[in-house]
Amino acid sequence: MSTSTIEEKQYLTRFKADTKSHLTIVNHEVCQNNCPEKFCTIFCPAEVYKWEGTRMQVGYEGCHECGSCRIGCPQQNIKWEYPKGGHGIVFRLA
């Protein structure tokens, strides 16, 4: 079967999540007050970011570690680190 949703896509990929997030919203109020577009909720290829009305939920466990959110956040409001060694996404193929 080919996939048709992001959930199905993410299910194909292996993750070895750390217990601690490697992605941090510096200030949730900046998301709420200064960022009407909330671009990260649109372009993140793994739908890591979800706006929950008053704060940004960060599902770091499914992160592909691409770096888009760090570069694309218009407010530079995302602290982006690599997950601890050996953790995070594990590509098996390409």
What is the nearest approach in angstroms of other proteins to the Cβ of residue 12? 5
Q: How far is CA 14 from CA 1, 25, 28, 56, 92, in A?
A: 18, 24, 29, 24, 8
What is the nearest approach in angstroms of other proteins to the Cβ of residue 33? 20
What is the nearest approach in angstroms of other proteins to the Cβ of residue 84? 6
Give the integer Cα–Cα distance in Å for 92 and 63: 15
Nearer to other proteins, 10 or 77 (CB): 10
Q: Residues in the site for other proteins, rule: CB under 8 A?
A: 1-4, 6, 8-10, 12-13, 16, 37, 39, 42-43, 45-47, 64-68, 70-72, 81-86, 88-94
